Structure 1
């Protein structure tokens, strides 16, 4: 089993050959407008449009904590919208991150990555606006992705 590769750079510009999946965590209320999603939207319109339609039609699809929506944005690049946070605000119930939802989403992401023979690229998911701890997220990535032989690169953005 390999290890997570950590690099400084932009997760929206994965540095690998072959098929690449860019994974990130979304909220469960349809909000798209802060954090890593802004970088995605600057590069491609499809992930935001797909997420908003997925949320809008949630009565007839699987939208909810732990779900994953995989959106093609380029011949060799896919974006995985993973629902891993409840709401967007910190409050009496703590931070928005939901580790169990990220775990389920990573399991589903792994299935698609294997099908596509893709490597996975991401920022430190769930640890920005969602308020999560990398010490809790990293083992989920190891369990769900690395143990299945999926190469994972985590990007720490400059600036």
Structure 2
């Protein structure tokens, strides 16, 4: 665990979170309804529910909160949830830069914090926003610390 952030770092698979108690696996999704590259593939190999729920959420976006900064919680086990956090605009880098949206990740993590507190859960994740979204961990880590660990929520980040 780093003293500065309170985040624990482990080698392993974020779809197989370690430890006891209720757990929330947080990851980043795009705001275009696309699901098919990166960490979401590992989630889909393990459980069909997060992808199905995300696609339903996106299809009904005119009537719900789907959009940057939103979070959807999908129960995949008795004591295990997946948080689909909308933290990237589009799916690839282009003339307007990378898809990651740090403010949206921060807002989504605030929603994850609320759910984790409600459930008495720890939060588990890969280095969110830093793969296909094009973000940097030096920008994301302080958001995780501010929204989760400083609120007393245990966080584990998994590196493969």
TM-score normalised to structure 2 length = 0.97
Q: State the Cα RMSD in Å.
A: 0.9
Matched, 1:74 2:93: no
Question: Corresponding residue for 1:18?
Answer: 21
1:153 to partner: Cα distance = 0.1
- Measure, in 2, the Cα distance between the counterparts of 1:63 and 1:48: 14
Question: Corresponding residue for 1:5?
Answer: 8
Gaps of 5+ in 2: none
Partner of 1:7, secondary structure, is: strand
- Measure, in 1, the Cα distance between the counterparts of 2:19 and 2:76: 16
1:132 to partner: Cα distance = 0.1
Matched, 1:145 2:155: no
Question: Corresponding residue for 2:137?
Answer: 134
Question: Corresponding residue for 1:105?
Answer: 108
Which residue of the other structure, out of 75, 83, 86, is the alignment partner of 1:83? 86
Gaps of 5+ in 1: none
1:3 to partner: Cα distance = 1.0
- Measure, in 2, the Cα distance between the counterparts of 1:24 and 1:68: 10
Which residue of the other structure, out of 48, 65, 69, is the alignment partner of 2:68? 65
Q: Residues 43-101 of structure 1, C-alpha deviation per residue, up to 9 Å, x if partnerless? A: 00000000000000000000000000000000010000000000001011100000000
Q: Residues 11-68 of structure 1, C-alpha deviation per residue, up to 9 Å, x if partnerless? A: 0000010000000000000000000000000000000000000000000000000000
Matched, 1:36 2:39: yes
- Measure, in 1, the Cα distance between the counterparts of 2:89 and 2:17: 28
Question: Corresponding residue for 1:117?
Answer: 120
- Measure, in 2, the Cα distance between the counterparts of 1:7 and 1:108: 24
TM-score normalised to structure 1 length = 0.97
- Measure, in 1, the Cα distance between the counterparts of 2:45 and 2:148: 27
